[in-house]
Amino acid sequence: MPWRVAVVLPAREGFSHGAVGAIGLQVATLAGTQDVIVGPPLAGPALLPGHEYHAIQPGLWPPGSRSVRYAAACLRAVAHIAPAVVEVHNRPDTARYIARHRPGQRVLLVLHNDPRGMRGADTPALRRDLLGIMDVACVSGWLRARFLEGLPAACGERVGVSPNGVVLPEHVVPMAQRDPCVLFAGRVVADKGADLFVAACAQLAPVHPGWRFCMIGADRFRSDAPPTPFVTGLLPHARAAGVDMAGYRPHADVLAAMGRAAIVVVPSRWPEPFGMTALEAMAAGAALVASPHGGLPEVVGEGGLLCPPDPASGLARVVGRLMADPDARGSLAARGRGQAARFSVAHARACRSALRAACLHRAPG
């Protein structure tokens, strides 16, 4: 692709080691040489050393909220870069601001979360208005359906699916050699079912004394994430259940832990828009148990066991059966690797490239 793309991060999305979330990691994974990253000032060494990065510092103009001033600063960066396409991640209001103030600019809005809870896209009328000035890419079919809910069928022509991608390790630790460990990795919040994981472990630990239970994560994706009331309240329950709460760890450490653990659990209460943790666990060769909510069934397919996480007793039964059956764990892990291969980085890049090209060449309106 010979033309440049300005990739605009959300105002609070990190893009440095030790301070990066799921969106930043995917932008780094899929970035091509033609991509220019636009985002907030870096908190440390950039994820892509040597790659062009425009740090945005909102000024005092225009008057209004910080989000408006951030969008205006992004617009100034876009004018300097002069890209063929502006790819705005997860911020409909920023995408609308750029499209409105730069007539003729091709804009692709990439959604990683449910737009019905986003400023500037929370009603069918607002979402239809967006499609008059930009194209939209959603990371899952479930998310695409959420965007199109309440809109005419013809609107679907400008809304595509651009899945996340995962690096598939060439070799993984065989199940027979894996640590007898049940792992939770992700934000330690109620939406992610962190408390349900602890409650399930409390039931499993007495009957599986040779197993360990571990949680990696904090409230935020950064090493200096402060303890929240939820995390503080969960700590004594985790200690009583024998769950090791390791706190935030860099992404590479999380992947390494998945590569050693026998079982990974993704017990989300909320409808996951995609389910990157589940995909990474399958790619790493772990046996996966995941919630059936949101985009998770689409990502997991036959590569994991889908189980409602609430009540925790049901989650404990499903995980416990896997703990007791090494052959079932091995078979499930093999299916998971096959499922993860469908979400390769090459495939994800091809999908994103096709939607960028469609955005560039499509007639406005």
- Residues 175-343: name the CATH superfamily: Glycogen Phosphorylase B; (3.40.50.2000)
- For every residue of 51-63, DSSP letters joined together read S-EEE----S-SS
pLDDT at 43: 87
Could you read off the pLDDT of 43-86 as tens digits, one per residue? 889 999 889 999 998 888 888 888 999 999 999 999 999 999 99
44 DSSP assignment:
S
How far is the C-alpha of 228 from the C-alpha of 237, rounded, in Å?
A: 15
Distances (CA, A) of 153 to 111, 159, 160: 19, 11, 13
Q: Is residue 311 reached through a cis peptide bond, with omega within 30 degrees of 0 on the bond before it? A: yes
120 DSSP assignment:
T
Q: What is the mean pLDDT of the chain?
A: 94
Helix 345-361 to helix 22-30 angle (10° resolution) is 80
pLDDT at 61: 82
Within 13 Å of residue 246, how many CA atoms lie on the same side as its CB?
A: 16
Does 5-164+344-361 match 175-343 in CATH topology?
A: yes
247's CB contacts (< 8 A; 6+ apart) are: 216, 217, 218
Percent of the chain scoring above 70 in pLDDT: 98
How far is the C-alpha of 317 from the C-alpha of 3, rounded, in Å?
A: 53
Could you read off the pLDDT of 255-298 as tens digits, one per residue? 999 999 999 999 999 999 999 999 999 999 999 999 999 999 99
What is the four-CA torsion angle of 115, 147, 268, 310, rounded to 10 degrees?
Answer: 120
Assign 23 a pLDDT band (cuts: 50, 70, 90): very high
Written as one letter, the residue type at 277 is T
Assign 345 a pLDDT band (cuts: 50, 70, 90): very high
Distances (CA, A) of 273 to 138, 159, 200, 292, 297: 9, 15, 24, 12, 11
> Considering Cα of 134, then 139, then 140, then 145, what sign does the dihedral take?
negative
- Closest to 139 in 3D by CA, of 168, 162, 166, 115: 162
How far is the C-alpha of 305 from the C-alpha of 336, rounded, in Å?
A: 10
pLDDT at 271: 95
| pTM recorded for the entire structure | 0.94
Beta strands 212-216 and 179-185, pairing class: parallel
In sequence order, what are the beta bridge partners of 6?
36, 86
CB contact at 8 A, 15 and 9: yes
How far is the C-alpha of 337 from the C-alpha of 329, rounded, in Å?
A: 12
Which alpha helices (H) appear in the chain, and where do they start and end?
A: 22-30, 66-81, 92-101, 124-131, 141-148, 194-204, 229-241, 251-260, 276-283, 296-300, 312-323, 326-340, 345-361
Phi/psi for 28 (5° steps) reads: -65, -40
Residue spans per domain, the chain: 5-164+344-361, 175-343
Assign 4 a pLDDT band (cuts: 50, 70, 90): very high
CATH topology of domain 5-164+344-361: Rossmann fold (3.40.50)
> Considering Cα of 61, then 64, then 66, then 67, what sign does the dihedral take?
negative
How far is the C-alpha of 34 from the C-alpha of 280, rounded, in Å?
A: 26
